[in-house]
Amino acid sequence: MTTTYNWSRNLAYGSSAVLRPRSTDELAEIITSNPRVRALGSKHSFNRVADTDGVHVQVDAIDSTVEVDTAAMTASVNGGLRYGEVSQALQASGVALGAMASLPHISVAGAVATATHGSGDATRNLAAAVRGLEIVTGDGTVRTLTRGDADFAGAVVGLGALGVVTRVVLDVVPTYDVRQDVYLGLGWDTVRERFDEITSSATSVSLFTSWGPDGVDQVWRKTAVPAGSAATEFPRSYLDAPAATEAMHPLPGVDATACTGQLGVPGPWNERLPHFRLDFTPSNGEELQTEYLVPRRHAVAAIDAVRALAPQVQPLLQITEIRTIAADDLWMSSTSGEDGHEGFIGIHFTWKKLQPEVEALLPTIEAALAPCGARPHWGKLFDDSPSALGRVAAAYPRFGDFAALAERYDPEQRFRGGFVADLLGG
């Protein structure tokens, strides 16, 4: 038996095989003939969300076409395709996505199922762009769900618990360009006092910090502009932070070749919205990741809470990224708002590959962020002990409805695995 690892090789999956069906009929046969099945995408999760003691399936060989409907402004894509591959097909058709994550290397269905996100005050997470899903359920039935259907808001961020998603229909918009400007050094007082002004100053803003006393190390500002826009002179400073005069990597001292174009030169949306280029190893490679999503009204308090833990965080840290995300109404989305309006901030930790030490620190961070209503990213490292999972479930007002939905779609519990089995029971 060949051992299968996730992307960063911090996790060995427990499955007995990884199968790649070439049709939905073949997939249905695999599902109905195995007691435990989990979908496996680009393996970019750092925890047990996709694990199983049965078999894994990857759906990227099932009709990998990208079908663009410019009248409806939708694109139907294979759920196993990576966002970078999908974006290239969309750009060739003159359309675009409204958001992309930092990494274009992640699969569409996997990112959607875990509520993975991009950045921007007005930018909702990737799952919010889903207009339709095709799911093969535990009895082999192929179901289609469309936005507005009764089960839709519960099924999109499904954690793989309802079935195997084979196709996803996404909202698209006319293509556009993005310019990316990077500024160096922004004091904590400025960040705290002008946080809303900073994050609203561009389409997408990322604050990279090592939690030193002087403040934020880098400010990445991505601004959407019309397609074909020429380069223009960009400000030489922002709130007294000087502009970078050479391309930067978020990690100190790392070559920026793998990063998307900067220095204010506009480029296609799919070559600027992600931080990293599709044809390079994403981020650093040797790393672990954690992220907590916090209601925006607690942004400054959450930042202060982590700053107070800097002596414990810094020895394990490569970099932290702080971003904003608009709210959505998907039941299990970590950015679902009670009223559908309040936004969130994401505090994302890229750790050194020191898993025991990181896992030992996570309960301390989570306790510090608990008064701020923090929710963990479903695909990153967090405390997934039974007691902690109970607290996570309690943070979702529709969790009971989601558990009932999972039971209805998967009464034989074929798709329970990893911490999702612990979360739902079974």
Q: Residue 339: its pLDDT value, please? A: 55
Rounded CA-CA distance 229/227 in Å is: 6
Q: Express as a percent the part of the chain with pLDDT over 70.
A: 97
First to last CA, the chain: 26
Q: Express as a percent the part of the chain with pLDDT over 90.
A: 93
Q: What is the pLDDT of residues 361-370, one digit of tens each?
A: 999 999 999 9
Tokens of 104: 């274009």
Q: What is the DSSP letter of 336?
A: B
**pLDDT-derived band of residue 117, with 50, 70 and 90 as boundaries?**
very high
Q: Is 148 exposed, middle or buried (0-12, 13-18, 19+ CB in 10 A)?
A: exposed
22 C-beta neighbours (distance < 10 Å), count: 11
Q: Residue 17: its pLDDT value, please? A: 95
Q: Residue 111: its pLDDT value, please? A: 98
Contact 121, 206 (CB under 8 A): no
Q: Residue 280: its pLDDT value, please? A: 82
Mean pLDDT score, 177-191:
97
- Looking at residue 65, its amino acid is T
Q: What is the pLDDT of residues 65-96, one digit of tens each?
A: 999 999 999 999 999 999 999 999 999 999 99
pLDDT over threshold 70, residue 202: yes
**pLDDT-derived band of residue 226, with 50, 70 and 90 as boundaries?**
very high
Q: Residue 51: its pLDDT value, please? A: 96
The CATH code belonging to domain 177-383 is 3.30.70.2520
Q: Residue 1: its pLDDT value, please? A: 60
- Strand 317-325 vs strand 204-209: parallel, antiparallel, or unpaired? antiparallel
**pLDDT-derived band of residue 342, with 50, 70 and 90 as boundaries?**
confident
Q: Among 14-18, 91-95, 232-236, 314-318, where is mean pLDDT lowest?
A: 232-236
Mean pLDDT score, 277-295:
86
- Output the pTM of the full model: 0.96
**pLDDT-derived band of residue 206, with 50, 70 and 90 as boundaries?**
very high
Q: If we measure between CA atoms, which residue out of 75, 11, 31, 57 comes closest to residue 384?
A: 11
Mean pLDDT score, 203-231:
96
**pLDDT-derived band of residue 286, with 50, 70 and 90 as boundaries?**
confident
Query: Residues near 245 by Cβ (< 8 Å), separated by ≥ 6?
Result: 263
pLDDT over threshold 80, residue 319: yes
3-state class (DSSP) for residue 240:
coil
Domains of the chain by residue range: 177-383
Between residues 92 and 281, which one has the greater pLDDT? 92
Rounded CA-CA distance 266/272 in Å is: 8
Q: What is the pLDDT of residues 388-401, one digit of tens each?
A: 999 999 999 999 99
Q: Residue 72: its pLDDT value, please? A: 98
Rounded CA-CA distance 77/108 in Å is: 8
Contact 287, 93 (CB under 8 A): no
Contact 13, 37 (CB under 8 A): no
Give the mean pLDDT of the chain: 95
3-state class (DSSP) for residue 369:
helix
Tokens of 155: 């099924």
**pLDDT-derived band of residue 340, with 50, 70 and 90 as boundaries?**
low
3-state class (DSSP) for residue 179:
strand
Q: What crossing angle do the helices spanning 299-307 and 355-369 adopt, rounded to 10°?
A: 140
